[in-house]
Structure 1
Amino acid sequence: MNPKPVQRTTAPPVPQRSRKRKKKRRAWRLLRNLTILTAISGALFGGWFFLTASGTELRYMMADTLITTQHRHWAKYLIGQEGLDRQVAKYTEQFAKMSETTSTISVQVPTPREEAKKPDEPPVKIEAIEGPKFKGHLLIVRDPKKIRLAVPDKVGKGEKVSSMVKRTGAIAGVNAGGFVDPEWKGNGFQPTGIVISGGNIFYNDGSMTTPTSIVGIDKEGRMVAGRYTPKQMLEMGVQEAVTFTPKFINDGKGLIKSPADGWGIAPRTCMAQTADGTILFAIVDGRQPHSIGATLYDIQQIFLEKGAIIAANLDGGSSTVLVHNNEIVNKPASPYGERYLPTAFLVFDDPAHAPIRNIWEGLDISKIDPSKW
């Protein structure tokens, strides 16, 4: 007896509206789960960031980095306004103490006769430097007396370092001192503090007895860094100088004791000198994928490895630039390229005849509007 054939029935198709509802519910569940996961992760990160020692160290490092930029006020969102004020006061006091240290180790600058015995040695050399978070260059100047402090050639406007190098016929150049920039437009014409070039005061926003922190070179070719009055500078025979801070190596010893005191991570330009008179400029890129930036502690360690006995900080950030043979060697942090600046340390074959004139002579500096070009 044949069994009855099994009747197969096809399930009715799921309405399209029902499928859409299921997809929507899955999407909402996924979104809900992601939101919960994000909230939990955020809470855990916030707890670590604000309540643990390692998180606090990172917060203050980030705040210090912001303090070195034009967006200093943003640091308050990391450490509060009181924390920001406290951190700025701390660095101000720390830098002042560093500037007051005096050098006792003498520098033996080569005489012209000794230099003449080295005809095959180039006046400058450039070496690559790098660390875990940064890449940069070291400009090595054998004879410190080949360096002059250059300034712009037009009233009312700063000048790019590459332009200064080309215009004056220099071999190489780096940015030097800071400038007044109230609206962060980078006019670069009005320096801060003092500018000395060729042994003459080109610019001084204080009196002859107002102390200011300087970085420069005296008539014997010895690097000078510290806090002095313009009167003292002239008595000391300071030849080339700008105002900046801090001095961070003295007598071959680092004054910055740990990375946490290195004033954040940023593009850097710093200057040092070894016992044989050689000047070292460290130029470090920053705020870019290939190089986040360096702390002053990072630069200090590089200089100490090279035998520096004195070192000091120069203007950095978007101003940091190295020019050699009329080409920009590094990658400036500014998306617009080089900044217009008031000062640069340039290296010359014949510095005595460098075409550098006092662009501020005869100007009433109280009437300069640094926000206008």
Structure 2
Amino acid sequence: MRPAPKVVRALTGLAWAALFLVYVWVSSALFLFQGPFPNLREFVIDSLTTSRHGYLLRPLSLYTLSWAEIRRHDPNLMNFNAGISSAEQAARDFRSVSDPTIRLETVKEATFTADVMLVRDPKRVRVAVTKYLGRVGQTVSEMVAEYHAVAGVNGGAFRDVGWQGTGGIPLGITIMNGKVIQAVPNARQPVIALTRRGALIAGAYTLPQLERLGVTQAISFGPVLVQNGVGLIRGNGGWGYAPRTAIGQRADGTIIFIVTDGRFIHGPDNVGASLHDIMDLMLRYGAVVAANLDGGSSTTMVYRGRLVNQPTDILGERKVATAFIVMPETTRPGA
């Protein structure tokens, strides 16, 4: 029995549509990764490697990109020339600070817009970790709600679990409220941490070093942008331009959170920020220490139940493994 003509035409139409989609995919991939526009190619590679998803470049390029080429773009989270924060910074004591002020500001630059959150009392800032540890992450909004916080930004490096979600496993050293969640024993890692006295430190640390300094909150990411009041980034920083998240601290203890937009989400001039751009902003706000956090589509800032920025992930907020959150002013570490 022969198929009805309408069925044959429908099947033929689907076959042609499938072939057309394959053609578009193949030609677009070859044009993008092997075509005559090297700056566009570099931008796409930098965007994915900066957001720690360089592994997607091989299939997206139809395997025309080598692992060696991808690794050449892979950002180095640890700038060893940054060393570690000074003993003076690590010993700063902000336990007497009780000012509950949180201030939000917006800064417009040529290639990006930045949202800046200033938290006067650093003891309110903690690390939050996905409650689905080892399986999948949570959005910053979910973690802020989960821990009854008032604000938060995305945190450190993470690994996906079988590509079936994001943010399931934090990488490097992760400490939450004094409890070690994840650590590489005796290995120096790119760490951003807070001591029990509210001092922010950043640099290449081992877990025993952090324990001796009285660290109660820590995640791994980088590079360090400002150390001991001195900016460390040369050129544009080598990471290209993208949405960014960063954390810093003033000499008076105020924590500075910065997120920027990018990836043309707000128009053709909205390419994003370089590491040097973020360093300059941190110095402008008086940071004595500052470090880069996970960026790209992870970049998120939440305040009092609303998204402050517009994440670039097509699904909205991305699930991540860790976040820095700001607790209510009546809550103290250990409470």
Task: Please give the range of the TM-score, normalised by the shorter of the 2 chains.
Answer: 0.7 to 0.9
1:171 to 146, 150, 172: 150
Q: CA deviation at 1:105?
A: 5.6
Q: Is 1:336 aligned to 2:315, yes or no?
A: yes
Query: What is the identity percentage for the equivalent residue pairs of Structure 1 and Structure 2?
Result: 35
Q: Is 1:97 aligned to 2:43, yes or no?
A: no
One-letter identity of the residue aligned with 2:306: E
Q: Name the CA distance, whole Å, in 1 between partners of 2:64 and 2:287.
A: 35
Residue 127 of structure 1 corresponds to which residue in structure 2? 105
SS of residue matched to 2:209: helix
Structure 2 vs 1, CA of residues 304 and 125 (structure 1 numbering), >3 Å: closer, same or farther?
same
Q: CA deviation at 1:82?
A: 5.5
Q: Is 1:139 aligned to 2:139, yes or no?
A: no
Q: Give the TM-score of the pair, scaled to structure 1.
A: 0.69
The aligned runs of 1:50-65 (5 Å cut-off) are 63-65=45-47
Q: CA deviation at 1:312?
A: 0.6
One-letter identity of the residue aligned with 1:257: R
Residue 226 of structure 2 corresponds to which residue in structure 1? 249
The aligned runs of 1:180-259 (5 Å cut-off) are 180-181=159-160, 184-204=163-183, 206-207=184-185, 209-259=186-236
Write out per-residue CA displacement over residues 6-34 of structure 1, whole angstroms, 9 at most, x where no aligned residue.
xxxxxxxxxxxxxxxxxxxxxxxxxxxxx
Residue 252 of structure 2 corresponds to which residue in structure 1? 276
Q: CA deviation at 1:235?
A: 0.9
Q: Name the CA distance, whole Å, in 1 between partners of 2:264 and 2:145.
A: 27
One-letter identity of the residue aligned with 1:136: A
One-letter identity of the residue aligned with 2:46: D
One-letter identity of the residue aligned with 1:95: M
Q: Name the CA distance, whole Å, in 2 between partners of 1:149 and 1:101.
A: 20
Q: CA deviation at 1:86?
A: 4.0
One-letter identity of the residue aligned with 2:284: E
Tell whether the 8 Å contact from 1:270 to 1:281 is kept in structure 2 after alignment. yes
Q: Name the CA distance, whole Å, in 2 between partners of 1:279 and 1:194.
A: 21
One-letter identity of the residue aligned with 1:352: R
Tell whether the 8 Å contact from 2:173 to 2:182 is kept in structure 1 after alignment. yes
Q: Name the CA distance, whole Å, in 2 between partners of 1:171 and 1:256.
A: 32
Unpaired segments ≥5 residues, structure 1 = 1-44, 356-373
Write out per-residue CA displacement over residues 108-165 of structure 1, whole angstroms, 9 at most, x where no aligned residue.
55443x53xx5xxx53111112211111201111111111111223453322211121
1:305 to 270, 284, 289: 284
Q: CA deviation at 1:61?
A: 5.9
Tell whether the 8 Å contact from 1:272 to 1:312 is kept in structure 2 after alignment. yes
Unpaired segments ≥5 residues, structure 2 = 1-34
Equivalenced residues, count: 291
One-letter identity of the residue aligned with 1:264: G
Write out per-residue CA displacement over residues 250-296 of structure 1, whole angstroms, 9 at most, x where no aligned residue.
1211111222x341111111111111111101111222331321111
One-letter identity of the residue aligned with 1:345: F
Residue 5 of structure 2 corresponds to which residue in structure 1? none
The aligned runs of 1:104-115 (5 Å cut-off) are 106=89, 109-112=93-96, 114-115=97-98
Q: Name the CA distance, whole Å, in 2 between partners of 1:167 and 1:182.
A: 22
The aligned runs of 1:255-266 (5 Å cut-off) are 255-259=232-236, 261-266=237-242
Structure 2 vs 1, CA of residues 302 and 317 (structure 1 numbering), >3 Å: closer, same or farther?
same
Q: CA deviation at 1:103?
A: 2.8
Q: Name the CA distance, whole Å, in 2 between partners of 1:187 and 1:289.
A: 22
Residue 346 of structure 1 corresponds to which residue in structure 2? 325
Q: Give the TM-score of the pair, scaled to structure 2.
A: 0.77
The structure having more radius of gyration, on CA atoms, is 1
SS of residue matched to 1:174: strand
